[in-house]
Structure 1
Amino acid sequence: MTMTQEMEPTSSTIFTEDELNAHQAFRHAFPFFRNNAELTYLDNAATTQKPQGMIDAIADYYANYNANVHRASHQVADKSTRAYEKAREDVRHFINAPSSKEIIWTKGTTESINLVAQSLAFSRYFRQGDEILVSALEHHANFVSWQQLCKKLKLKLVIAPVNAQGIDLNACLALINNKTKLVAISHVSNVLGSIQPINAIINKARLHKALTLVDGAQAIAHLPVDVQKLDCDFYAFSAHKVYGPTGLGVLYGKSEILNALTPYQYGGEMVSNVSTDDACFSELPHKFEAGTPNIADVIGLGATLNFIQAQDKTALALYEKKLYLALYQGLASIPGVKLQGSEKGTSAISFTVCDWHVQDIAELLSQMGFAVRVGTHCAQPLMQVLDTEKGTIRVSLCAYNTYAEIQALINALQSLEDFV
């Protein structure tokens, strides 16, 4: 063994024993990795893998107490309702919301954002000429929703400028004024992995009495989220981004604002009384939850959050931070790789390689057993800023990924010339 090889970093030299133990216990809970031993899964920004406890909880519901929630008087429905509402309380605790009544179930981050947009419009919150501020790095769900609302209501869509690291904070703050009625900003960019300065943006919006919505889809699995400390009016995320089931989302909203809004979907559950002339809406949170809900996945999310809370979250966070840094530095060391984002980000890193088409690289990596994402990542305005219309390759991590997987990816990218 050469001196250079002896000095190369390894898992044991990068991570502490507590961090490695926390990581190993965490990874062991996900059957996906045992069932796909030849695959290196690095597409976590698209969706995360699922712990066995979540899978078991959903199967248990369907096998043993499948019944619709609320209103029924029989025992099975009572058990189903209690498990369903306990999951709402689990979410409340996870993001430190003041009340479980402020937790609204949706189909995902996208529907959460659209719920706010349409309910504000139905409630006549906006007047012609009002401004909505978004940034150029937003996911289409948090861009197109407001873009189209502005067109419909003759509002002004104001776009905060960004660079390869994220939102230009000073420029963004300068755009918030007395005409600003709502600011909708991502907590973490799904392309750059950069953590956005949402605290400063929320504080400035508050000075001008503008509402704030935070798209937390890419933050919820990687950062501690405390909606009371943030003091945002709305926070949205998807269950499947935080090791939970697909087809389920969460919208947190301050109760005084939610109570003032008119719902935009109607049906059973969300009404307390109906006559031939009118209807009275239910109290929060059911006011915004029309129809039979996604009971099984709500219960599954509750099990997932309980699993996460039982982990050594401090050690896992440190592990993931070091893993991300190793990935960033490894990619930066490869000639021809152009990185987007910074080493201060979390989870996701995007890049291009010389004159290679990003789709070709992704296909070669797939043949070598690496699952990464390629394209514009539902963020085409950002791609225009980055001058990469064909998109980027995105690698995204979670705490169950390993240092060996990162090293294998770096080695694979370094060998690309073999395929020319």
Structure 2
Amino acid sequence: MPFRSMKSLVIAVAVTIAALALATFALSQTSAPASIRCSACQFENTWTYKFCVNCGSSLAAAKQAKLEQLQQEQELARQAARRQFVEDSLAQARAAENLSAPESLRAERERQAAARPLALAPPETSASLIPSMAPVAPAKSDRPKPQRWYQTLLTTPAVLPRLFNVPTAEVLSSLDIYFNGGGAFGIEKERNFLGHAGLGLGDIAEVEFATQAVINSLQQGSSSVPTSAFKMLVLREQDRLPAIAASLRGTTSWHHFQGQDASVSFETRLTKLYLVATKHRGKVMAHVGLGLTDVRVRNPQGWRFREAGREMQRNLIAPFGGLTIQANPKAQVMLEVEGLPSYDFTAGEVHDGSAIKNIWAGVVGVRFYFTNWLAADTGVRYRSDFDGIADANIQANVNMLFPLGRLRSKQ
């Protein structure tokens, strides 16, 4: 008899452990809800939206609070499931033990159970009557359990700090890393490759290493120069005020440009200071900015300065702007216009600062998100120095954002 009783207890404990493991695995995943309520206007939005379609407010804080609430509810559900499994297993073990006991012993136990006051054995303490069978887990702290690392990744498409080429007032989240690469393709006048790599600092600033396009008449097209930049958020977006950011971007050294004839060349460097404002309005996001570019030229070969000197300098002031329309949760329509420095030098002639001027470039296209961290930009690009629409070309970029700052170690 003791052997049969011990066997039934072992089976009950094994079933309990297996059931607990299955329940823990089934409840460990946090699925995103279908909708999220805006904390500003209480409007119900689709979960994948980043901004409220009614008032334009950011939904990031509301989503984070909703996910934390769901995790707490699931943790309570796991604890309730564990208690229920333990109670059911203990009841099965007691039933098996009673069946294996002699008839007289079962009758005596039933008589004692009927005589025992109900207050002495509340349902909550049933697990504590037989501690040797299945010990109850110690009480857990009320402190929220840290999120697992895979639950802290992007739950919505990443907000990127630029359109095709025009910057926005958005800055990268702290320690997030951003990569962008692409260019304009289609004709000989556009053969440059542009790339960006940025790192977010404390949710208020970012540093970036990139290439910037310039127009060089000696090469009969555009060229690119490496630059470094620091961008800082000056004002966060509020009800009636836009987000405002300031940035300083400059070349790392003097760069040598050569014409189709190797005997014609010059060296240049440039620094750009700009302010940009961003404002959301429903599904539309507008970006407007103003930039001041200090352009320097030296060491002309095959042509010369009008005024004697070692350098030629010109300050260029150019506004820029863009528009983003949220077509659906995975696609955005983007429009942008910007001014690019242009060097209009001709071999064998004399030039002054007026040969350095702005050329206007515009792009209309779409940004599509393959995943929340990987997006592709495709559009049509046209410049004010083109002869006609036959010179228009295709601009294509690939964007990747790695949210390293949002990863947390599993505690």
TM-score, structure 1 normalization: 0.24
As a proportion of its length, which structure holds more strand? 2
Bigger proportion of residues as helix: 1
